[in-house]
């Protein structure tokens, strides 16, 4: 689940495959999705190109694929 326009960026693991991500960007013009990918890449220490949003581009609930993880 994504919490856009948050004061503090934070990633919290809820269970082995579910994370809650708080980001500072507003959900407009793909800015939030871009920040999600950037923050996940930092969190998992992988390249941004390894992360793809499969479903939920305009939703707070997303399905994200991470290659070779």
Contacts of 54 (CB under 8 A, 6+ apart): 62, 63, 64, 65
* Domain over 2-66 is classified CATH 3.40.50.20: no
pLDDT of residue 68: 86
CB 60 within 8 A of CB 1: yes
Q: What percent of the chain has pLDDT over 90?
A: 97
**Whole-prediction pTM:** 0.91
Please report which confidence band the pLDDT of residue 12 belongs to, taking 50, 70 and 90 as the band edges.
very high
3-state secondary structure (DSSP) of residue 69: coil
pLDDT one-digit tens code per residue, 22-60: 999 999 999 999 999 999 999 999 999 999 999 999 999
């Amino acid at each position: 689940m994504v919490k856009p326009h948050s004061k503090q960026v934070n990633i919290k693991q809820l269970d082995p495959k579910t994370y809650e991500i708080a980001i500072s960007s507003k959900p407009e013009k793909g800015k939030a999705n871009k920040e999600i990918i950037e923050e996940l890449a930092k969190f998992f220490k992988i390249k941004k190109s390894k992360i793809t949003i499969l479903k939920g581009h305009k939703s707070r609930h997303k399905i994200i694929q991470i290659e070779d993880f």
